[in-house]
Each structure stands twice: as C-alpha cells, then as structure tokens.
Amino acid sequence: MNFFKKLVWKKQGTQNDTVPQMIYTEDYFNQRFVEEDLKSDPIVFEGNLKLIEGYFIDMEVEKPIDNPINHPKNLDKTFDNVITFKLYCNGFQLEDNMVAFALSSAISDFFITKYGFKLYKDKTPEYPLRFLSLKYKKNGVELSLYPFEYSVKVMNLEATFEDLEKRIKDKLEVMPEYENMLNNIKNFGK
C-alpha cells in the first residue's frame, strides 16, 4: 500500500529524530484535498499583490527586499508601522478575512515559487482557519503548513513570516525519508 505522511516535526532528542502526526493513504488524501492554482484567477491574485505594493507606495514605507513584493521580510514590514496593512485595507472597506486572504495568497505564492510547495483546499479542515494547506512532498514524507491561519497570527502580531521561512528552511534540511520513517514505526516499542 502506498502511503503519504502528513508530518509535523516534534523533537525527540535530535533534529533528525521525528514522529509523524498522521499517516494516510493516497485515496484519503485525494478525497480530502483538492489542488488549487493561485493564478487561476489572475485578477484576484494580481490584485492581492498590487494591494501589498500599494501599501508600500501610499504609506511611503521602504521595502526591505525589492523583489519579490511577497518576500516574507516585505510582508512582515506591513505590520511594522503605525498604520498596518490591516488598517490600510480596512480603509478600503476590506474586512479582516480579506486581508488575511491577501496575505495568505502572497505568502503561498512565495513558498510555491521558491521551495516547490503546492497549495490545496481542504474539504474537511480540522480547524476553520485551516481550509488552505501548503504541502511539500519529498521521498514519501510531507510537510504541511496553513497559510491563512498563519496570516491571521501575523495580523495579530503573534508571528512573523520571516520566522516561518526560517523554520521551513530548517525542516526541509532534515526531512526524513519514507523508508526510514516506516522502519522507525515498525521498530517502535521493541
């Protein structure tokens, strides 16, 4: 049987020692997740990026990174000022969920472009803010993150996108291989 792992790392001594949170079949994955293409609606996608670009121009805030506009340092900078990106968007009568969607769209595109993640819509999310899931698959093991939920944390000043990128880089460097994970599971408790 072919399995994919949904893996969220928990340290068990060393960085290479990991425990999967969930194991599921391809059939289960295909029933639950639908791949999304951010650029399938270019008006919405480009509008989100233009909204971020407009923030820097209108608020006369210098971007830490010139290109791409959706770099984590730039997105974090939008919450590093008296008038945050949230307040700026609220001025256009955009509700907080639309602000979080713009941020999640931008950061998703960054991780898709730079690291090769894929974006999925979760038909049965475990939590309401986890209806979008970015997934990175390597050697039968999968790393997942939730861009909308994380964007809400950034908006509430509880997290930064730069920290998220650092943690992802660290995780990608130590992703275990499927065969090693399977052997660890088989030998668990022996």
Kindly report the backbone phi and psi dihedral angles of residue 187, in degrees, each rounded to the nearest multiple of 5, phi listed first: -90, 0
With H, G, I as helix, E, B as strand and everything else as coil, classify residue 1: coil
- What region does 139 belong to: left with phi over 0, alpha with psi -120 to 50, or beta? left
- Total count of domains within the chain: 1
From the number of C-beta atoms within 10 Å of its C-beta (0-12, 13-18, 19+), residue 119 rates as buried
The pLDDT tens digits of the residues spanning 50-82 come to: 999 999 999 999 999 999 999 999 999 999 988
Look at residue 41 and tell me whether its pLDDT is greater than 60.
yes
Full domain range(s) for residue 135: 3-181
Look at residue 7 and tell me whether its pLDDT is greater than 50.
no
For the residues of 136-171, what is the DSSP string, one character each? EEETTEEEEE-HHHHHHHHHTTS--HHHHHHHHHHH
Percent of the chain scoring above 70 in pLDDT: 80
Alpha-carbon gap, residue 142 to 118, rounded angstroms: 11
Inside any domain, residue 18: yes
Q: Which of 10-24, 65-79, 108-122, 153-167 shows the lowest mean pLDDT across its residues? A: 10-24
Inside any domain, residue 187: no
Inside any domain, residue 85: yes
Inside any domain, residue 96: yes
Inside any domain, residue 188: no
- Residue 29's pLDDT is 87
Inside any domain, residue 33: yes
In which order are the strands placed within the sheet that holds 33-36? Answer: 22-25, 3-7, 141-145, 132-138, 118-122, 33-36
Query: In 10 A of CB 110, how many CB atoms?
Result: 21
To the nearest whole number, what is the mean pLDDT of the chain?
85
Inside any domain, residue 24: yes
Q: Beta 33-36 vs 118-122: how paired, if at all?
A: antiparallel
Question: Is the distance from CB of 52 to CB of 63 less than 8 angstroms?
Answer: no
Inside any domain, residue 142: yes
> What tokens does 18 get?
């990991």
CA distances from 37 to 8, 78, 93, 137, 168 (A): 24, 25, 26, 17, 21
With H, G, I as helix, E, B as strand and everything else as coil, classify residue 95: coil
